[in-house]
Amino acid sequence: MKSAYLLIPLAAVAFTGAASAQAKIFRCGNTYTNDEVQAKAQNCKLVEGGNVTVVQGTRVSAPLEGSNRGKVVTAPAVGTQRIDSGDQKARDSDARGILEAELKKAEARLAELQKEFNNGEPEKLGPETRNHQKYLDRVADLKANIERTEKDIAGLKRELGRAGNATPTAINK
């Protein structure tokens, strides 16, 4: 037990010794150094109160020599690449198919939620017969899910309308 009491002060001395072994840091303009001789020669200032972290950055390269010297070079504008009309029609068709599938899935989900909601009076589940608040919470969740699903359906219908070639029967379901 006595040896444990001796180790604690020794550990404390070791940690404080390591902390005080930090070298002095000097700032010379935008550079830092821990060399006192160089710092005195360049009339650098001692940095106090905290650690200094220096991250090496990349240097800006000089302009290229040769034929491009003095010319303005611009990057091509985004979206200037031409897409074949056949490819574009295929992409539009795929996008429309995905939207229609999502719309069918959302409409099926809405029908399921409305059936469970039962015009605001869903059937009580097991624990809800003893705890009316659980029932009220579930009813509120069902109502919120129905509203969210209706908004999703409206958004999908808007997207289908923007996609063009919309059939009135598919949108106005």
Distance of CA 57 to the CA centre of its chain: 26
Domain locations in the chain as residue ranges: 14-53, 85-171
Does the global pTM surpass 0.85?
Answer: no
Position 98 confidence tier, pLDDT thresholds 50, 70, 90: very high
Cα dist from 70 to 62, 66, 73, whole Å: 13, 9, 9
The string of pLDDT tens digits covering residues 44-60 is: 988 887 666 767 777 76
Q: Lowest mean pLDDT: which of 12-21, 28-37, 131-140, 158-167?
A: 12-21
Q: In b/e form, how buried is each residue of 115-142, taking b as 16+ CB within 10 angstroms?
A: eebeeeeeeeeeebeeeeeebeebbeeb
